[in-house]
Amino acid sequence: MQIVKKKPQFVWRKHVHRNPLPWFNASGIADQQTISSWGAPIIWEGTFDPVERDDFYMKKKTVIGLTVFAIGRYLDRYLRNFLESAEKHYMIGHQVIYYVMVDNVTKVPALQLSPKRSMVVIQVRKYSRWQDISMMRMEQINDLIQNRIQFEASYLFCLDVDLMFVGRFGAEALGNSVAQIHASYYGTPKQSFSYERRPRSDAYIAPYDGDFYYHAAVYGGRVESVFDLTRSCLDGIIRDKSKNIEAIWHDESHLNRYFLDHKPTKLLSPEYCLDRVPAKHIRYARMKWMPKEYRQLREN
């Protein structure tokens, strides 16, 4: 009897047919885009099994950080509500470390955290211009990753404080590099995106260019990726300052430039950060923006 060896090509074909993301069901919903042009999953209710995702990361005892800044009046106005809602909805069942950056540590609300969850309060300087309060978070997060977070957590989300959790924000959101699709620009043509359009700025994006308009209120990923992201954005901000130019939407403009060059590996649908006027196509609300009283909150 003659033995016929199988061609190696057979093995290769088998590999190609394997589902690259076994946990992700791209056809779980039919009326939304669920995969980006470069193959990143877009997370919507119905595209994943929450129990499976939680088990997967709980078995690994994954530690998940969250940075949030509450400076000046934002500390009085938003921080308690943000943290109380996070205790109800953010990465429930996992090990969580809140990194709360404030200009006045005595004003941080005393909360009874659930088991496996802890809080680190860090005093940071208060920049006098609000644009810098927002932009220089990139520097402060980058420093804190270097000095502390890299030793304590493997994933990190960086969020605005004027948000409130209203539904599950769980392990399905974890990924190497995670970006939030801005609810107000979801489904609009890229020419309408409010990218920085002046070529002199480091955040410049040409009119024909771009993937999505991302929301700087929510981004995250593996700690090393967030380190790289915050460093790159900070470098752009500093170069712009040296040229006496400031990008139209500050840190958000630089974040959009970064994600254009370094494609995120996971995208969060607008469910994860709803617009003030939620669109009809949104079936599940996970986070929403709090109302703003600009006149009272913006001191300068």
- List of residues contacting Mn ion (CB under 5 A): 160, 162, 217
- Check binding of 183 to ligand 5GW (CB under 6 A): no
Other CB atoms within 10 Å distance of the CB of residue 206: 10
Q: How far is CA 262 from the centre of its chain?
A: 14
Q: Which does 74 bind (CB under 5 to 8 A by kind): Mn ion, ligand 5GW, none?
A: ligand 5GW
Residue 252 catalytic? yes
User: By CB neighbour count within 10 A (0-12 exposed, 13-18 middle, 19+ buried), where does 250 fall?
Assistant: buried
Q: Among candidates 267, 167, 252, 149, which has minimal Cα distance to 201?
A: 252
44, 48, 57, 69: which one binds ligand 5GW (CB under 6 A): 69
**Residue partners of 157: CB distance under 8 A and separation at least 6:** 64, 65, 66, 67, 173, 178, 218, 219, 220
Taking CB under 6 A as the criterion, which residues in 73-102 touch ligand 5GW? Answer: 74
Let me know how long the chain is: 300
The contact mask relative to ligand 5GW for 199-238 (x = CB under 6 A, - = no) is ------------------x---------------------
Residue of 252, 271, 293, 299 marked active site: 252
Per DSSP, what are the bridge partners of residue 122? 101
Whichever of 62 and 194 has its CB closer to ligand 5GW, that residue is 194
23, 56, 127, 130: which one binds ligand 5GW (CB under 6 A): 130
Catalytically active residues are 252
Binding site for ligand 5GW (CB under 6 A): 69-72, 74, 130, 133-134, 160-162, 217, 297-298
